[in-house]
Amino acid sequence: MTKGDDGSVSSWTSPEEQQFFAELRAQHTLFVFGRKTYEAVLPPFVPGVLKVVLTTNPNEFSSSQKKGLLEFHNLSAKEFVKKYENKYDTCLILGGSRVNSDFLEAGLVDEIYLTVEPVTHGSGVPLLARGSLNDYDLPEPEVTALNSQGTQLLHYILKK
């Protein structure tokens, strides 16, 4: 999921994956991600889109907070869903590893989009903080070739 100590992913992901991800983002108005992903990306404010950063120290980020656009909360995956499920139909979970593991383990993931790029890093941050996708009884993914270089998009539908 990352390359070595480099938190940026745009240097090694394909243009086709970046285009796909931009289109997926555009379909959502609620995003959740961990504090380290926030610090790696520092996402822009987008009108009408709420980005929630999970952290055990939300007070540290009070000067970055913008109500309705960027909020910092100390919530478990279940508490997060309880807080937002009445206002939003869907949420895009953007990682990193701990957030991915927490939401999967809590049974709160309906779909997974996983892009496999034909590159090896040797070290970096993994997809999950605990275990691997093989630990979950996932259905066969729908596989789409995003380009002729070998980039593949795997789409798992866990719940309809």
Ligand X SMILES: NC(=O)c1ccc[n+]([C@@H]2O[C@H](COP(=O)([O-])OP(=O)(O)OC[C@H]3O[C@@H](n4cnc5c(N)ncnc54)[C@H](OP(=O)(O)O)[C@@H]3O)[C@@H](O)[C@H]2O)c1
Q: Can residue 10 be called a binding residue for ligand X (CB under 6 A)?
A: no
Distance CA 120, CA 20 (A): 21
Q: Can residue 151 be called a binding residue for ligand X (CB under 6 A)?
A: no
Residue 138 amino acid letter:
L
Query: How many Å separate Cα 160 from the centre of its chain?
Result: 20
Q: Can residue 34 be called a binding residue for ligand X (CB under 6 A)?
A: yes
Would you tell me how many other CB atoms lie within 10 Å of the CB of residue 77? 20
CB of 99 to ligand X, least distance (A): 4
Contact 144, 138 (CB under 8 A): no
CB of 160 to ligand X, least distance (A): 25
Query: How many Å separate Cα 29 from the centre of its chain?
Result: 14
Among 3, 20, 31, 37, contact with ligand X (rule: CB under 6 A): 37
Q: State which residue has the least CB distance to ligand X.
A: 96
CB of 29 to ligand X, least distance (A): 19
Contact 94, 38 (CB under 8 A): no
Site string for ligand X, 84-113 (x = CB under 6 A): ----------xxxxxx--x-----------
Among 11, 56, 62, 123, contact with ligand X (rule: CB under 6 A): 56
Distance CA 103, CA 68 (A): 22
Number of residues that bind ligand X (CB under 6 A): 26
In 6-126, DSSP assigns E strands to 30-34, 50-54, 70-73, 92-93, 111-116
Distance CA 133, CA 40 (A): 24
Among 20, 36, 52, 104, contact with ligand X (rule: CB under 6 A): 36
Among 11, 27, 57, 123, contact with ligand X (rule: CB under 6 A): 57
Chain residues binding ligand X by CB under 6 A are 1-2, 7, 9, 33-37, 40, 54-57, 74-76, 94-99, 102, 125, 129
